[in-house]
Amino acid sequence: MESQQTDAPKFQIQQQPATHGIDIKHIINRQVNKTQDTTLLNTMAGALSVLSYSPTDTSHLEKAIPSIQNLLLHLERKGKAKNTLIAVAKNLKALAQRADLSDPKTVELTIARYLKKNTRPISNAYKSKLCDHYQHYCKFYKIQWEKPIYTREPVSIQPPTNEKISTLIAAAHRELSLKLDIIAQTGLRPIERARRARLFTISTCSVGK
């Protein structure tokens, strides 16, 4: 009798997002081919899924969406503006992609280490905004959390160059061009220039009389 060959059990691997250069599917498949052990497969998949966590992971986000929606309805009833609701929803969803919103310590660390898409750290002003919006979440769901304080970086104003000023004056209309030229030469603010123009007009009228 011919011996019947049974195919080796096939394991369907759900590919996890790879980070830090780890090819999870390749590692798991290599180990399974050696051992054919489903218990080892499940253990390794669970452990490596933690290492492969990335901001695109939607497991926490899907869990947090109903709670975020309930918070938004509460804030709307309290008279919050539409722009505020949009900002709260956007920032809480961004945090939920990176951490469990019910764990304030994890969220606090996530805010401290938050990176932009270009892998640069966000500003303290944005960290403070994230804390403000997460505080709404904690207050609504009665989660004890002491909000960290982030000092905003001083914003430096870079004055335009003389070349840019000349280009702006040349591109403006006659009256506006004259006003800009006076401001550029005297350093007056627009409101100061307007006051001096009114005083000049009044004094001219008085002399004419």
- Per-residue pLDDT of 1-26, as tens digits, reads 444 444 544 444 444 444 444 455 55
pLDDT attached to residue 113: 94
Q: What is the distance between the alpha carbons of residues 93 and 101, in angstroms, rounded to a whole number?
A: 9
Is 193 part of any domain? yes
CB atoms inside a 10 Å sphere around CB 37? 12
Look at the chain and report how many structural domains it folds into. Answer: 3
Is 206 part of any domain? no
Judgement on whether residues 120 and 73 belong to the same structural domain of the protein = yes
Judgement on whether residues 115 and 134 belong to the same structural domain of the protein = yes
pLDDT attached to residue 13: 42
Judgement on whether residues 95 and 27 belong to the same structural domain of the protein = no
Please, what is the Cα angle at 115 between 122 and 159, to 5 degrees? 30
Judgement on whether residues 111 and 135 belong to the same structural domain of the protein = yes
Judgement on whether residues 111 and 130 belong to the same structural domain of the protein = yes
Continuous H helices in 24-161: 24-35, 38-51, 59-77, 82-96, 104-112, 124-140
Judgement on whether residues 69 and 125 belong to the same structural domain of the protein = yes
Tens of pLDDT, residue by residue over 157-173, are: 788 888 988 898 889 88
Judgement on whether residues 69 and 49 belong to the same structural domain of the protein = no
- State the burial class of residue 24 (Cβ atoms within 10 Å of its Cβ: 0-12, 13-18, 19+): buried
Report pTM: 0.53
Is 89 part of any domain? yes
Phi/psi-derived region of residue 21, left when phi > 0, alpha when psi is between -120 and 50, beta in every other case: left
Q: Among 5-14, 43-52, 86-95, 188-197, name the one with the lowest average pLDDT.
A: 43-52
Distance from the Cα of residue 193 to its chain's centroid = 41
Q: What is the distance between the alpha carbons of residues 3 and 72, in angstroms, rounded to a whole number?
A: 66
Judgement on whether residues 97 and 128 belong to the same structural domain of the protein = yes
Could you tell me the residue range of the domain that residue 46 belongs to? 12-53
Distance from the Cα of residue 136 to its chain's centroid = 17
Q: What is the distance between the alpha carbons of residues 57 and 63, in angstroms, rounded to a whole number?
A: 12
